[in-house]
A and B are shown apart, each in its own frame.
Chain A
């Protein structure tokens, strides 16, 4: 890219409107401004379209020149100094500085760009979105004055980091100036530099009027009242004469650059940042709704704030005090719904010289009447155990029946922070330390993140109930419910007591304490089977709690692929679950393998967990490698294919509060052999919908497997009956209807508590 100008000036002298306001039109202060800006247009007027002059200007000054007082100042200047180089041209343009600029821009004699409005380094805003807003505001004002986006924005102190190119491009800028020191000296003028987001980069260096400008790139001259005249005088000789044609494009990633960085200079000082902190705090005092009160004088609050920051950064004490007073006065009126529009318009017209188009109201947030927030530590695509499937099925079924559902869950690599899937709003956050070794600390970390996100959601949505799944997200749920007096429903999928057949160590005891705390804080508790309800009553001191039994639901899929990596292993018995002791997969090691071998049957056991490797070693030790296969994690499609093609599904759990996977097998019309424990007993009815065996008894299990293999008609019948039962009782539609009743009941009870207090 060739430089689209021959020389560049930077006119960024502090703008002091209070000094200007108190001075007469012929005062020194106004003359100073007119000299600098007047000589810019006079120099541009002299140039040709082949060699235009570029200028980066202070947007507050430009706005002021466009305002009522600015226009009066220009007219007075032209009258008082008819011999000034710019006077005749300004007269031609009816005394309007902006019209003069427009005309020169159209003739391609002037390339005008703004310095970013607040002049705060865009890399260093200690407030989220402040840099993006500064760029937007700069462009908005520019459009108000010139009718189109500026071709570029001058970066305050040359500060740039990756992403600023994107922010500029989003607003319509085409190129950006960066300090020359960001580029290797020997390559700087060789290439046409392009940022990764596709913005052309023009390296710059400051120069003096007196120096020889026979260099390859045009210098940037800081224009002040002292050198404005000599610049105008010498501009013809100052034109850069180098002939460079940078045809080779080179993409460059620059982590950070600012002026004089390589000399070890600071970009900002901590004092400057601390000084500006009060101004950043001011930004928190209003929101879109307050701004809407001022929409007639669109953007005035933002503009006042931007000027406060500008004044604070430049240490213009009087200006700052006056601007803060002005902002507070406008804000006070807006908050009381009685804004002083006269004053607002006066500030806009006199001070800032713009009449911004009314601020667009943000679209009304979706109304979410009576929404439920579900907290869960896993949700698809993050699937660890049965909980993700459960919450997923329930959430979608609730949406289907017209309920608004927001799922709040942990972050998952590859999944967005927010998405709306089949009507379910899914927000993901935390934990900050996902690989923290200490499980309890990881859970605490996750709960902090969910709590903070939940606070944000409660502010934005009308929530009527919080529903948490297990103790893992209990702390966040309880904190949110307490803070907002919301009713809390918790589904206890399993208990620590049940998982370990008692509490035996410190970790189990901490988990059990968390479970008790959650149960005690919940208004109602849902469990998935009658045995679980008993367990809570006996071991979790929940005798006085409202505990509802709602079984888990299951999805029915018609078309499933049967191909896959396990296709060759048929016929096989399938089992799936977490590789932990209570799932009872160790029972397989002592079954009657010899006898089953004759039937050429294989055992595929899928799932991951802490005991996976140990069990694999055990298989090897016993020489069962060609019969029992611990295949580890299987994908969703593989799991379905395995269910679809197995001869039977076995669930040998020693403890199983519900056993959703057994229901899944039933949904695939497969005969189920399950241990007679917990929730499994409630839907695997022996010899009707499946076969039961004594938990942990390999002999009994072998007998039941043989029965299925020897009696295919019975196996088929059990599969068909199981399918019917699953469909009748455990469809998500059915489950969600029951859950909704619990919600209504809980909200009602909470309301009664409120009335009593």
Chain B
């Protein structure tokens, strides 16, 4: 049944026409179509870059970029070398990161087929964000995916005192977003 719906949809039949053609209720057809597209998409579309701590100063980055996203990116900007990707880690401590204002950046060349990388030597009490992209023909970085930001531990446990005021403020008024980085699942 879904094969017939797919065929008709490819020929740009409207939902009503498909419903008439197959003599099935409209809702039924749409539900089958959605299920089908989700199955396809669930397998086809996975684009993300995840950065998680291996230790206080090591980060593990893993990414999945669907070829069609890469293809789309290449159409937006021509890469210098399509076989090489750029993994970048930006220090974004205490700023609203806008792509050009990071305190520092570390660039790592990875192969197009790589899927993960370990970044060592993070500094204490700093915020970082990772991006995967490529260098364009003009030797400029073009980002494709961005990780959730992370924040490294304090230098010493007593350093919590520097955030005490903000922590108290948030505790008493939790309706405004906190001024620190939270677990990505909270959003």
Given A256-B56, A270-B116, A452-B69: A162 in contact with B180 (beta carbons within 8 A): yes
Q: Is A425 an interface residue (CB 8 A)?
A: no
Given A196-B167, A198-B171: A264 in contact with B55 (beta carbons within 8 A): yes
Tell me if A434 and B160 are in contact (CB < 8 A): no
* Residues 263-280 of A contacting B (Cβ, < 8 Å): 264-270, 273-274, 277
Q: How far is it, in angstroms, between the C-alpha of A255 and the C-alpha of B116 when the chains are bound? A: 24
Query: Would you give the shortest CB distance from B58 to chain A, in whole angstroms?
Result: 7
Residues on B with beta carbons closer than 8 Å to the beta carbon of A750? 12
Query: Would you give the shortest CB distance from B20 to chain A, in whole angstroms?
Result: 15
Q: Is A329 an interface residue (CB 8 A)?
A: no
Tell me if B178 and A196 are in contact (CB < 8 A): yes
CB-contact partner of A161 in B118, B142, B183, under 8 A = B183
Tell me if B12 and A751 are in contact (CB < 8 A): yes
Residues on A with beta carbons closer than 8 Å to the beta carbon of B184? 128, 163
* Residues 138-187 of B contacting A (Cβ, < 8 Å): 140, 142-144, 146, 151-154, 156-158, 160, 163-164, 166-168, 170-171, 174, 178, 180-186
Tell me if A252 and B56 are in contact (CB < 8 A): no
B183 nearest CB neighbor, chain A only: A163
Q: Residues 245-260 of chain A: 1 if any B CB is under 8 Å from the residue's CB, otherwise 0?
A: 0000011111111000
Q: Residues 95-107 of chain B: 1 if any A CB is under 8 Å from the residue's CB, otherwise 0?
A: 0101111000000
Given A255-B154, A289-B35: A435 in contact with B98 (beta carbons within 8 A): yes
Tell me if A167 and B98 are in contact (CB < 8 A): no
Query: Would you give the shortest CB distance from B131 to chain A, in whole angstroms?
Result: 7
Q: Is A567 an interface residue (CB 8 A)?
A: no
Tell me if B167 and A252 are in contact (CB < 8 A): yes
Tell me if A479 and B142 are in contact (CB < 8 A): no
A290 nearest CB neighbor, chain B only: B39
Query: Would you give the shortest CB distance from A645 to chain B, in whole angstroms?
Result: 37
CB-contact partner of B158 in A184, A197, A261, under 8 A = A184
Query: Would you give the shortest CB distance from B55 to chain A, in whole angstroms?
Result: 4
Tell me if A256 and B157 are in contact (CB < 8 A): no
B13 nearest CB neighbor, chain A only: A751
Q: Residues 176-194 of chain A: 1 if any B CB is under 8 Å from the residue's CB, otherwise 0?
A: 0000011111010000001
* Residues 45-73 of B contacting A (Cβ, < 8 Å): 45-48, 50, 52-56, 58, 60, 62, 68-69, 72-73
Tell me if B118 and A270 are in contact (CB < 8 A): yes
Q: Is A218 an interface residue (CB 8 A)?
A: no
- Among A119-127, A349-357, A656-664, the stretch that binds chain B is A119-127
A186 nearest CB neighbor, chain B only: B158
Q: How far is it, in angstroms, between the C-alpha of A129 and the C-alpha of B142 when the chains are bound? A: 27
Tell me if B167 and A251 are in contact (CB < 8 A): yes
Query: Would you give the shortest CB distance from B141 to chain A, in whole angstroms?
Result: 9
Query: Would you give the shortest CB distance from B65 to chain A, in whole angstroms?
Result: 11
Tell me if A125 and B52 are in contact (CB < 8 A): yes
Residues on B with beta carbons closer than 8 Å to the beta carbon of A253? 160, 163-164, 166-167, 180
Q: How far is it, in angstroms, between the C-alpha of A433 and the C-alpha of B178 when the chains are bound? A: 22
Tell me if B54 and A268 are in contact (CB < 8 A): yes
Residues on A with beta carbons closer than 8 Å to the beta carbon of B50? 126-128
Q: How far is it, in angstroms, between the C-alpha of A261 and the C-alpha of B181 when the chains are bound? A: 19
Tell me if B186 and A167 are in contact (CB < 8 A): yes
Q: Is A436 an interface residue (CB 8 A)?
A: yes
Query: Would you give the shortest CB distance from B133 to chain A, in whole angstroms?
Result: 9
* Residues 662-700 of A contacting B (Cβ, < 8 Å): none
Residues on B with beta carbons closer than 8 Å to the beta carbon of A365? 34
CB-contact partner of A265 in B45, B55, B131, under 8 A = B55
Tell me if B186 and A166 are in contact (CB < 8 A): yes
Given A197-B174, A266-B58: A162 in contact with B182 (beta carbons within 8 A): yes
Tell me if B68 and A483 are in contact (CB < 8 A): yes
Given A256-B151, A451-B72, A475-B75: A163 in contact with B185 (beta carbons within 8 A): yes
Tell me if B183 and A433 are in contact (CB < 8 A): no
Q: How far is it, in angstroms, between the C-alpha of A451 and the C-alpha of B71 when the chains are bound? A: 12
- Among A2-10, A206-214, A439-447, A572-580, the stretch that binds chain B is A439-447
Q: Is B38 an interface residue (CB 8 A)?
A: yes
* Residues 120-167 of A contacting B (Cβ, < 8 Å): 122-132, 161-164, 166-167
Given A270-B60, A435-B99: A123 in contact with B76 (beta carbons within 8 A): no
Query: Would you give the shortest CB distance from A158 to chain B, in whole angstroms?
Result: 13
Interface-centre pick from B10, B99, B160, B185 (highest chain A CB count, 10 A): B185
Given A256-B152, A754-B11: A475 in contact with B62 (beta carbons within 8 A): no
Q: How far is it, in angstroms, between the C-alpha of A126 and the C-alpha of B42 when the chains are bound? A: 17
Residues on B with beta carbons closer than 8 Å to the beta carbon of A483? 68
Tell me if A459 and B37 are in contact (CB < 8 A): yes
A161 nearest CB neighbor, chain B only: B183
* Residues 4-61 of B contacting A (Cβ, < 8 Å): 10-15, 30, 33-35, 37-39, 41-43, 45-48, 50, 52-56, 58, 60
Given A255-B180, A256-B152, A462-B30: A126 in contact with B52 (beta carbons within 8 A): yes
Q: Is A301 an interface residue (CB 8 A)?
A: no
Tell me if B100 and A285 are in contact (CB < 8 A): no
Q: Is A342 an interface residue (CB 8 A)?
A: no
Q: Is A367 an interface residue (CB 8 A)?
A: yes
Tell me if B171 and A194 are in contact (CB < 8 A): yes
Residues on B with beta carbons closer than 8 Å to the beta carbon of A267? 53-55
Residues on B with beta carbons closer than 8 Å to the beta carbon of A111? none
Tell me if B98 and A433 are in contact (CB < 8 A): yes
Tell me if A441 and B72 are in contact (CB < 8 A): no
Given A257-B153, A434-B99, A475-B76: A369 in contact with B55 (beta carbons within 8 A): no
Residues on A with beta carbons closer than 8 Å to the beta carbon of B68? 483
Q: Is B111 an interface residue (CB 8 A)?
A: no
Q: Is A534 an interface residue (CB 8 A)?
A: no
Q: Is B81 an interface residue (CB 8 A)?
A: no
Tell me if B100 and A433 are in contact (CB < 8 A): yes
Tell me if B41 and A459 are in contact (CB < 8 A): yes
CB-contact partner of A441 in B77, B98, B180, under 8 A = B77
A265 nearest CB neighbor, chain B only: B55
Tell me if B38 and A436 are in contact (CB < 8 A): no
Residues on A with beta carbons closer than 8 Å to the beta carbon of B52? 123-126, 268, 273
Q: Can you give 23 A-B contacts (C-beta < 8 A)? A: A126-B50, A128-B48, A163-B186, A167-B185, A184-B157, A184-B160, A196-B174, A251-B164, A251-B167, A256-B53, A261-B56, A262-B157, A266-B58, A267-B55, A268-B52, A436-B100, A452-B69, A459-B45, A462-B33, A475-B76, A751-B12, A751-B13, A754-B11
- Give A contacts to B, CB under 8 Å: 122-132, 161-164, 166-167, 181-185, 187, 194, 196-198, 250-257, 261-262, 264-270, 273-274, 277, 284-287, 289, 335, 365, 367, 369, 413, 431-438, 441, 444-445, 447-448, 451-452, 455, 459, 462, 475, 479, 483, 485, 747, 750-751, 753-755
The 4 closest A-B pairs by CB, nearest first: A433-B99, A163-B183, A163-B182, A754-B12
